[in-house]
Amino acid sequence: MSNIDLLQARPPGKTRRIVLGGVKIGAGAPVSIQSMTKTDTHDHAATLKQIRQLASAGCDIVRLAVPDRKAIQPLRIIVSQSPIPVVADIHFYHRLALGAIDAGAHGIRINPGNISDEKHLSELAEAAGAAKIPIRVGANSGSLPKKMQQKVARAKNRHKALADALVQSALEQCAMLEEFGLSAIKVSIKSPDVPVMVAACRKFSSVSDYPLHLGVTEAGTLTRGTVKSAVGIGALLLDGIGDTIRVSLTADPVEEVRAAILILEATGLRTPQPEVVSCPTCGRTEFDLMKTALRIENLVDNLKQKGEIIPIRKIAVMGCVVNGPGEAKDAEIGIAGVKGGKAAIFSHGESQGTFPIDEAIAILMKKIVEKSTKKTPR
């Protein structure tokens, strides 16, 4: 077994390129968003419906469980009709992975803890190589190989031992797949424990150039899961680590995609079009900022859902003059409360004058609508 502490360090963020069903991953490609269907894969119609919802929401790659042989035929239908690449999630049975490759899956996800037989891995690497599809090696603190689990349980610093074991488990399976001729590999190292996941991914990224798929497992319900994922995935992305991400939520998978988009926007990896920034309001605020910010966000969402393009980078809704104009200047369009029930409109750093608040909001909304244009249909 290799000692990961002895492997040579490399700068983070420099990963090799793989391609999954046309989506580029790694080596500076835009960070892609993944999700996983929560339908029964045997029900191809329901699964395809959910995949289309995910694609509309902004999902780039979708994964689905292939729990048994009966799922292979529906998988074939799903792959042929899906608007985005499909990854088959396989556990325990390498024959299912071979079946999924035959059914046209654009990628396979296996787990070092439960497909470890060398002969099976060799067959899998050969089939994936022939089909020119990548394999994701997904190490997970919930299903580490038994020996490693025991080692972690005996360790003094369980957190560090767990992070190290996850990295080692992933590296070992990658090395085996490489030995069998497959180099189109991506790796995920997941844990429900955010500091463990972040430490493990940092370590992995410092010793390997496989593209990293980031995620926090068993993150929890909508709000808690979103926060855990934002912290873990966000911290790594800010450091240039991570090539594709999945937010795991015990919620509608469309929420996973929405949260993933917000994380990419927060880390500066995607620019919201347009971004509505608003201050948190305080005792200085002289108008209902919350309601105004929500009205502006809703207007933007409605225009986008109608297929409009809004060529504005930033809209600011500020409660008062303390930070207001400073921030609003940075925005193409901004509104900032001033004394006496009035608000100032800013555009490209210049005041457009002060108006009664309702009028100012109306002017702001009119400007947004005027700037919007219909998308040219492809």
Q: In angstroms, what is the minimal distance from the CB of 57 to a copy of itself?
A: 14
Residue with Cβ nearer a copy of itself (18 or 115) = 115
CB closer to a copy of itself, 262 vs 365 = 262
The Cα 349–Cα 50 span in angstroms is: 44
Residue closer to a copy of itself by CB (options 19, 294) is 294
Q: How far is the CB of 129 from a copy of itself (least distance, A)?
A: 26
Smallest distance, a copy of itself to C-beta of residue 289, A: 6
- In this structure, are residues 14 and 209 in contact, taking their beta carbons and an 8 Å threshold? yes
Residue 323 to residue 186: CA distance in whole angstroms: 44
Candidates 113, 193, 207, 196; CA nearest to 162 is: 196
User: 297 with 310: CB under 8 angstroms?
Assistant: no
59: nearest Cα among 338, 259, 284, 239: 259
Which CB sits closer to a copy of itself, 33 or 66? 66
Q: How far is the CB of 16 from a copy of itself (least distance, A)?
A: 25
How far, in Å, are 96, 132, 260, 300 from residue 313 at the CA level?
A: 47, 39, 20, 12
CB of 373 to a copy of itself, least distance (A): 25
Instruction: Note whether 259 and 252 are within 8 A (CB).
Output: no
315 and 293 Cβ atoms separated by less than 8 Å:
no
The residue (of 11 and 280) whose beta carbon lies closer to a copy of itself is 280
CB of 143 to a copy of itself, least distance (A): 5
SS3 276: strand
Spatial CA neighbour of 25 closest among 53, 62, 61: 61
Q: How far is the CB of 181 from a copy of itself (least distance, A)?
A: 28
What is the secondary structure of 297-333 as a DSSP string? HHHHHHHHHTTEE---SEEEEESSTTTHHHHHHTSSE
Bridge partners, 61 (sequence order): 34
Q: Least Å distance between CB 317 and a copy of itself?
A: 8
Quickly tell me which residue has 């699964």 as its tokens.
47
Tokens 């999902």 sit on residue: 59
Nearer to a copy of itself, 15 or 226 (CB): 226
Q: Shortest Cβ distance from residue 179 to a copy of itself (Å)?
A: 26
Residue 184 or 318: which CB sits closer to a copy of itself?
318
For a copy of itself, the closer CB: 183 or 302: 302
For residue 113 the two structure tokens come to 């803890």
The tokens 């997970």 sit on which residue?
140
* Closest to a copy of itself by CB, 96 or 184: 96
3-state SS assignment for residue 36: strand
